[in-house]
Structure 1
C-alpha cells in the first residue's frame, strides 16, 4: 500500500475518532512517552560544561530512537502504519479543543478563560473576550501546522520513522526549546531542528488555508509572517487572520509580564468573540479537506 493511500486512511481515521478517552485513560499516549524520554534526557544530560553539545547528543539519541521505533513498527505492515499515523495526527482533538473555547466563552468569561488555558501558555486570568478569541484562533492556526500538516508531510516523506522523528523533535522543542537559564543552551539544538522540520509544512499550511477559502494574498501573508517571533508559526497565523478578516497576535502576558508583540493583519477587526472562533474551526476543517484532496491527487498520480 502506497504512502499517500496510508496517509488518506490515517487522516480519515483521526478525523472520525480523534483520541478515544477509553483508550488513553488506560494506556500512556505516545506524546506522553515522548515527553518522558525528553524529561529523562534533560535530567541526565543537562548538567556540567558543554551544554550545547550535550543538547545535540540528547537530540541525536531522541531522533535515532524515534526513527528506529518507526522502522520496527513499519515492518508489521500497513495496518499498523495507518493506526500509528492516525494516533500521531491531531485534527479531531484540535477542533474539539478550539471549539471548547467558543462554547466556554458563550457561557461567560470564566468559561472561556478556563478553556483557552488548556491550549495556550500565556496568562489567561484577566483575559477579555477578544483576547480569549485571538488566543484560540492563534493556537488553531499554529497547531494545524504542528499537529496535522507537518506530521502528514513527514509521513509522506519518511513513513513511520519520519512522522515519529518529527513528533519527537516537536515534543522536545515544546519542553526544552525555550530561552530560559536552564534550557537556552541545552535546548538550542532541539529548537533549531524543530524550526528546520517545520520550514516547509508551515508555509504549506498557509497555502492550504488560503486556497481552501479562495483567498491567497501571499505578499501580505509573507509580510506579517516575517514580523512574528517564530520563523514558522507566523505563516499559518497570518493566513488564518486574512481569511477570517481578524487581527491576531498583539500584546499578551506571560508569567505576569506584558509583551508588546507585533499585530498580524492589524488593520482588521480586533473586537472578536466566540463567532470568530467558530469560523476558525470551520477553517480548520476546510484546510484539512484541502490537504486530504492534495494527498488524494498524489495517490491517483
Structure 2
C-alpha cells in the first residue's frame, strides 16, 4: 500500500511538472464544474437544496473516483490510476507560472495586466497601484497553495492509511468541496451557503499546514508566530494563515483595499519581494508533495 501511494504522489508531481493541467475537455474538475453549473440558479427552498448539493455531489465524485481503483486488481495499475486522479486535483505549475506571468507583466507595465490578474484575484483592479497588484498576485499564490494543493494532498495522504481507494476518494472529495465553494459560496447565493460553510470546515487544517510549509520554505519559522497578529484580519477563517505567514516571511505588506491589511507596518511588495514570495510558494508546493509521499509511505 505504501509503495503504491508513493508512486501515485510521484506520478502526480511528474505530470504536473510536465503538463501543468489535464486538457480542459477531460479535466475532472472542469467536468464537475459543468455538472454543477445548471444548479447555480434561484431555488424555492435554497437552504435545503444547497445542503443537498453540498452533501451529495462531493460524496458522489469521491465514490466515482474510488470505484476506478476498486475495479483494478493490479497494484501498479491502481497506483497509476490514483496518480492520475491526484494530478487532476492538485496544481503547482499552473499556480506558480500564472503568478510569475502576472508579476512580469506588472514590471513591464503591460496595459493588459489588470485584466490578466483577474484570473488570480477577486477584486476590482482598475485603480490598483503596481504594489497593490503585486500584493494581489502574492496573496492569491499563498491562498491557492492551501486549497489547490495542500488540501487534496493531505486528504490523500491520510486516506491511504485506510486504502488507496480511500486516499483517492478523499482527494477528489476535498477538491469537489472547494470547487462548489468557488462556484456557489457567495453571499448573494443562498443555495451556496452550505457549500461555503463546508469548505470553511474542510480547509481549517490545510490552511494552517500551508502556513507551516511556507515558513519552512522561507527558512523562517518565526513567521508563523508573527503571522498570528494578522491571520484573522481577512473575512475567511482560513485564508489569512498562509497569506499572513507569507507577508511575515517576505516582510511585505499584503493588502486588499477596504477589506484587510497584513503586515501593515511594512511596504507593499516590491518586484524583488513579490518574486521571492512566489518562489517561497513554489518551494512549499514541492515540500507538500514530498511530505505527502512520506505520510503515505508510513
Fold similarity call, TM over 0.5: yes
User: Deviation at 1:296?
Assistant: 4.1
Could you say what secondary structure the match of 2:119 adopts?
coil
CA contact (8 A) 1:109 1:129 kept: no
Q: Deviations over 1:205-236 (max 9, x none)?
A: 00010012221233321221112210000000
Corresponding residue of 2:12: 10
Contact 1:146 1:198 in 2 (8 A): yes
Classify 1:100/1:160 alpha carbon distance in 2 versus 1 (closer, same or farther; 3 Å).
same
Mapped partners of 1:149, 1:8: distance in 2? 15
How far is the alpha carbon of 1:204 from its aligned partner? 0.1
Q: Take 2:297 and 2:145, find their aligned partners in 1: how far apart are those partners?
A: 25
Query: CA–CA distance in 1 between the matches of 2:286 and 2:63?
Result: 31
Alignment-derived partner of residue 34 in structure 1: 32
CA apart distance, 1:61 = 2.0
- 1:131-142 equivalent positions in 2, closer than 5 A: 131-142=132-143
CA 1:168–1:267: 2 relative to 1, 3 Å: same
Is residue 2:179 matched to residue 1:171?
yes
Cross-structure match for 1:143: 144
> Considering only aligned residues, what root-mean-square deviation do their CA atoms show, in Å?
1.9
The 2-side partners of 1:171 and 1:111 are apart by: 27
Q: Give the CA deviation at 1:241.
A: 0.6
Matches within 5 A, 1:88-167: 88-158=89-159, 159-167=167-175
Displacement after TM superposition at 1:12 (Å): 3.3
TM-superposition CA deviations, 1:44-92 (whole Å, max 9, x none): xx411x3212111111221221121111122341111101211221101
- 5 Å matches for 1:204-283? 204-217=209-222, 218-251=224-257, 260-270=258-268, 272-283=269-280
Residue 202 of structure 2 is matched in structure 1 by 197
Q: Distance in 2 between matches of 1:152 and 1:143?
A: 13
Larger mean CA deviation between 31-40 and 224-233 belongs to: 31-40
Q: 4+ residue runs of structure 1 moved beyond 6 angstroms?
A: none
Gaps of 5+ in 2: 73-77, 160-166
Note the 1:35-50 alignment, pairs <5 A.
Answer: 35-43=33-41, 46-48=42-44, 50=45
1:249 aligned counterpart, secondary structure: strand
Contact 2:210 2:242 in 1 (8 A): yes
Gaps in structure 1 of 5+ consecutive residues:
252-259
Change in CA separation of 1:71 and 1:285 when aligned onto 2, cut-off 3 Å: same
TM-score under structure 2 length normalisation: 0.88
Q: Would the aligned equivalents of 1:102 and 1:275 in 2 still touch at CA under 8 Å?
A: no
Counterparts of 2:290 and 2:56 in 1: how far apart (Å)?
A: 36
Is contact 1:7–1:155 with CA below 8 Å preserved after alignment? no
Could you tell which deviates more after superposition, 142-151 or 64-73?
Answer: 64-73
Deviation of residue 132 (structure 1)?
0.8
2:170, 2:293 → 1: CA distance? 20
Between the two proteins, the alignment pairs up a number of residues equal to 282
